[in-house]
Amino acid sequence: MNRPRAEFATRVTSFKLNGRTVRATSAPITRLADVLRDELGLTGTKIGCNAGDCGACTVLIDGRQVCACLTPLAQVEGRSVTTVEGLARGKSLSKLQRAFHRHGAAQCGICTPGMLMAASDLLARKKKPREPEVRDALGGVLCRCTGYQKIIEAVLDAATAGREPPAPRAEEAVGARLPKIDGIPKLTGTERFGADAIPRDALWLRALRSPHHRARFRFGDLDAFLRDTPGVVRVLTAADVPSNGFGIYPHIKDQPVLAAGEARFRGEAVAALVGTREALEALEESRFPVEWQPLPAVLGLDAAMAQDAPEVQAGKRGNLLLDGTVKKGDAEAAFAQCAAVAEGLFETAFVEHAYIEPEAGWARRVGDRIEVHVTTQTPYMDRDEVAIVLGLAPEQVRIVPSACGGGFGGKLDISVQPLIALAAWLMDRPVACIYHRPESMASSTKRHPARVQVKFGCDADGRLRAAACDAKFDTGAYASWGPTVATRVPIHASGPYAVPNVYARGRAWFTHCHPSGAFRGFGVPQGAIAHEAMMDALADRVNIDRLEFRRRNALRAGDATATGQRLAHSAGLVACLDALEPHWITARRACERFNANAKRDRSPLRHGAGIGCMWYGIGNTALSNPSTLRVALSPNGTLTFYNGAVDIGQGSNTTLTQVCADALGLPMRDFELVMGDTDRTADAGKSSASRQAFVSGKAAELAGLDLRRRIFAAAGAPEGEWQDRRYRLALEKGHVLFRKDGIAHRFKPKNEIVGEGTFDPPTTPADENGQGVPYATYAFAAQVARVEVDLALGTTRVLELWAAHDVGRALNPILARGQVEGSVYMGLCEALMEEQAFRRLPPKLSHALVHRAPSMLEYKSITALDMPEMDTVLVEDPDPNCPFGAKEVGQGPLLPVMPALANAVYDAVGVRIDEVPVTPDKVLRALEKKAKGEPARIGPESFPDVPYPPATFVLPPWEDGDGDELKGADGKPLRRRAKVATA
Ligand code: FES
Ligand code: FES
């Protein structure tokens, strides 16, 4: 934003760019990043924040790393600038690029150019740097995908002449440690993200957003505004939107594209201006004629649940969006029999995805169709949403996904799509939009803040007997993925454990906050904090080692879950715990030794070890979620994989090709890839809920098998011959070669042969007690963390973390480890620092603040400098219903991190921080309380008098949406006085 106007462009700036002299005519104060991208066409340099906070724009000036977004063009006069495009020599990647490729250091790839340039600076000065020097050099570039591990490994390995593994032979791709098949463009700067291929003749769109949490508004004279604002050609308002509502669920289209008369959250779009980029960027927003009338806003769960709360959405009585329940056995009766009962109340915050690539894209009208090129996780859902909003048939909309620079769930909801589609449709001109960082953070969805109240009980042998959970979520102004969270959480609330009696409830309330949406784990991470604290509390009370307590109760194949689903296969928690046990024992002993010495030496440092476990149902909850993939062999022997599953960095382009290749029986190198384009690929569903490896993986397997069958049939092979895996296939000069027992047959297809695979995981809808088969398979994981807490400062430092994850089968161990590391990184960020707070601002101030906050600088996250050592164990407990046994690895590893850390802090200093993130101020306050003999706990303020663990506790009234008490199966109210917990 704030590009200098043309009248300031008064001179030519000459400098060396990647070894060649160039002359730039942009104004001398233009950001170098803009000059590189817009004037010189080198879009390898990325823009994530335009404020010097993310490092995505890092380039070298005279060999030293700088942020190109903070460098005015004038400063490079006569100097040498190197961008990512200058690293390779022709088609030969540099050693550093090759190391990145080998190690899988580029996931989504949006930070990769910045990382490469920062590392180049270091390696030019030091051929063999030590790890701390590498971390230091990369410390200014944020990566949200990798957890930095693979990047650091790659830089350390860049000095060696490491070699890529040989390309796998036919039927040997699954399980091979392969670099990404689409990895090279991410390393050379040629990958095209949402902002990278915008046509030069495009108009631009700028949304105008509410500065208030809640306000009525009225526009002034828009015609006069247009007349007086050269370069702005159209103002779009709600009146221009044919069908002004979108939303994830077919029956809940409650979010307007442009608010009509009332804005329900700060950052909601109320109008959109279309014009030249310069005019839009130069516009002072205060010139836009809109009058605001701020109204009392519902902020936070307590306000939403209050008796007299205003309705956030008209007609939504009590602001309740959804109420989901799971009931198995008789939890209340079982608690009465328990030898030990533990209870707690936990709270979590809004969390921002902070993908480095902001929302971006462009659209154009092609006859009676609209084409939208956009960064997204879900092209087919985008297609249907745009069609609804524009009043078109779905077939009239084409979504062409760009590379996606990180999503983590945040790009499952639409953002720029309906705005640019509407503008392009109405104006018959290409229209582009890139959100700036504060706009992205203000308007995009967040992780649901949660308040989770739990109660668990076990017998004297440490066998869990009962679990109760009441989870409340703030879903913001619109439904988004709130129903998913409210139904998924009760299912997972009893944790990865066999519990015979469960009562769990999940509810979501509307508030005047940004909508809460999908984020790695869909609410399950918030529940995991609670159930894992309970495992520690119960283990301590029945005097069983905390790891052993979990192992004793772990779900195993043959056990029934809280929804009554019997797990037939692949429940690998015990294997995960077994793998971690040596680390757990060593870590605990190390902590004891350290703390004894620290006390003796009067050091303020204390160490503690914590453990956390999780399970995660893969795919949609009790809903159909099919994927269809195709693979085609053309008459000239070209093999094309039409893969509608968007690779958002997790590597599905590679892993799905591995699966399809082995099922078909041809090597991966024969495959060409078409990804995501809704005109060219079938609907493979969304890249969310960790479903692509499993669901689309199975579809890829079926597609490969189907093509194999069809090729054999076309070649005249006897029925069933295609299943004989002794046939080795090869493509040679437009022919298919069949070899078996030393005899070869040759076949040339006359027409295109297409194999198709569709897979929909077998699930069943829940009954009135939430019983059923919500997911076809589950992932399991356990983690151990060792932390250091500073009693004087309240800071928590993670020293080591071990993660064991039951992936079913690792389709590609490099990529699987990368997913674990990245997911753990996000868990650490959430556990220790990340929180997007809303503030109740005086109306006078709020207008000013919406535009300066939040930023990537204010939103603290972990850098390469802070990321601890971690060790990943991939546990393979194959599920025969999954492709080659593979389950998931994208989301689950985040779940145990927060509980493991909170439990480790308790182990270190004896205080419970039940309000995530675990920040120094909370630790200090808890320590103060402990010193005064008060309950050493920081948690939800509405629950101040309950010690941890509570001696007595009254369960909250489990009223239904109408305020009536729920009745148990015996007709008695479920509200009971809980059993006195044992000491
Ligand atoms: S774009 Fe320059 S630091 Fe973020
Ligand atoms: S690979 Fe670093 S942000 Fe995605």
Q: Which of 67, 71, 110, 141 to mutate to test the pocket of ligand 1 (most atoms within 8 A of CB)?
A: 67
- Of all ligands present, the nearest one to the C-alpha of 55 is 1
Centre of ligand 2 to C-alpha 822, Å, is 9
* pLDDT at site 857: 82
* pLDDT at site 890: 86
Residue bearing the bigger pLDDT, 189 or 959 = 189
Task: Write phi, then psi, for 629 (nearest 5 degrees).
Answer: -130, 155
Q: Are strands 20-24 and 13-17 parallel, antiparallel or unpaired?
A: antiparallel
**Is the distance from the beta carbon of residue 407 to the nearest atom of ligand 2 less than 6 Å?**
no
* pLDDT at site 954: 30
Residue 852 has pLDDT above 80, yes or no: no
**Is the distance from the beta carbon of residue 111 to the nearest atom of ligand 2 less than 6 Å?**
yes
Residue 283 has pLDDT above 50, yes or no: yes
Cβ–Cβ < 8 Å for 520, 828: no
pLDDT band at 11 (very low <50, low <70, confident <90, very high): confident
Cβ–Cβ < 8 Å for 856, 142: yes
Q: Which of 58, 101, 103, 108 to mutate to test the pocket of ligand 2 (most atoms within 8 A of CB)?
A: 108
**Is the distance from the beta carbon of residue 187 to the nearest atom of ligand 2 less than 6 Å?**
no
pLDDT band at 573 (very low <50, low <70, confident <90, very high): very high
Strand partners, 886: none
* pLDDT at site 159: 79
| 156-165 confidence digits (pLDDT tens) | 999 776 777 8
**Is the distance from the beta carbon of residue 32 to the nearest atom of ligand 1 less than 6 Å?**
no
Mean pLDDT score, 763-770: 91
Q: Are strands 431-434 and 203-209 parallel, antiparallel or unpaired?
A: parallel
Residue 839 has pLDDT above 60, yes or no: no
- Of all ligands present, the nearest one to the C-alpha of 113 is 2
Measuring from atom 3 of ligand 2, which residue has the nearest CA? Answer: 143
Q: What is the Cα–Cα distance from 439 to 205, expressed in whole angstroms?
A: 13
Measuring from atom 2 of ligand 2, which residue has the nearest CA? Answer: 143
Which tokens is 622 given?
């009790």
* pLDDT at site 650: 93
**Is the distance from the beta carbon of residue 353 to the nearest atom of ligand 2 less than 6 Å?**
no
Residue 482 has pLDDT above 50, yes or no: yes
Closest CA to 787 of 802, 800, 771, 770: 800
pLDDT band at 888 (very low <50, low <70, confident <90, very high): confident
Centre of ligand 1 to C-alpha 69, Å, is 5
* pLDDT at site 949: 28
**Is the distance from the beta carbon of residue 110 to the nearest atom of ligand 1 less than 6 Å?**
no
Centre of ligand 2 to C-alpha 527, Å, is 27
CA atoms within 13 A on the CB side of 171: 12
- Of all ligands present, the nearest one to the C-alpha of 437 is 1
- Strand order of the β-sheet with 262-263 is 262-263, 215-219, 290-294
| 486-526 confidence digits (pLDDT tens) | 889 999 999 999 999 999 999 999 999 999 999 999 999 99
pLDDT band at 1 (very low <50, low <70, confident <90, very high): very low
Q: How large a percentage of the chain has pLDDT more than 90?
A: 86
Residue 475 has pLDDT above 60, yes or no: yes
Q: Which of 49, 66, 141 to mutate to test the pocket of ligand 1 (most atoms within 8 A of CB)?
A: 49
Residue 968 has pLDDT above 50, yes or no: no
* pLDDT at site 90: 84
CA atoms within 13 A on the CB side of 823: 30
* pLDDT at site 9: 52
Atom of ligand 1 nearest to the CA of 57: 2
pLDDT band at 8 (very low <50, low <70, confident <90, very high): low
Residue 148 has pLDDT above 70, yes or no: yes
Centre of ligand 2 to C-alpha 184, Å, is 14
Q: Are strands 320-328 and 269-275 parallel, antiparallel or unpaired?
A: unpaired
* pLDDT at site 4: 55
**Is the distance from the beta carbon of residue 59 to the nearest atom of ligand 1 less than 6 Å?**
no
**Is the distance from the beta carbon of residue 43 to the nearest atom of ligand 1 less than 6 Å?**
no
Mean pLDDT score, 560-583: 97
- Strand order of the β-sheet with 340-347 is 320-328, 501-510, 464-476, 450-458, 340-347
Residue 433 has pLDDT above 90, yes or no: yes
- Of all ligands present, the nearest one to the C-alpha of 149 is 2
Residue 145 has pLDDT above 90, yes or no: yes
| 444-454 confidence digits (pLDDT tens) | 999 999 999 99
For residues 341-356, one letter each, b for 16 or more C-beta atoms within 10 angstroms of the residue's C-beta and e for the rest, the string is bbbbbbbbbbbbbbbb
pLDDT band at 25 (very low <50, low <70, confident <90, very high): very high
Helices 524-541 and 482-492: angle between axes, nearest 10 degrees: 20
Atom of ligand 2 nearest to the CA of 357: 3
pLDDT band at 250 (very low <50, low <70, confident <90, very high): confident
Overall pTM > 0.75? yes
**Is the distance from the beta carbon of residue 57 to the nearest atom of ligand 1 less than 6 Å?**
yes
Mean pLDDT score, 879-887: 95
* pLDDT at site 3: 58
Task: Write phi, then psi, for 973 (nearest 5 degrees).
Answer: -65, 145
- Of all ligands present, the nearest one to the C-alpha of 146 is 2
* pLDDT at site 117: 98
* Secondary structure (3-state) at 739: strand
The per-residue pLDDT of the chain, averaged, comes to 91
Which tokens is 753 given?
């042969």
Mean pLDDT score, 348-376: 97
Closest CA to 649 of 203, 292, 201, 191: 191
- Of all ligands present, the nearest one to the C-alpha of 45 is 1
Atom of ligand 1 nearest to the CA of 67: 2
Centre of ligand 1 to C-alpha 432, Å, is 21
Atom of ligand 1 nearest to the CA of 140: 3
pLDDT band at 170 (very low <50, low <70, confident <90, very high): confident
Centre of ligand 2 to C-alpha 56, Å, is 10
Q: What is the Cα–Cα distance from 546 to 543, expressed in whole angstroms?
A: 9
Residue bearing the bigger pLDDT, 973 or 443 = 443
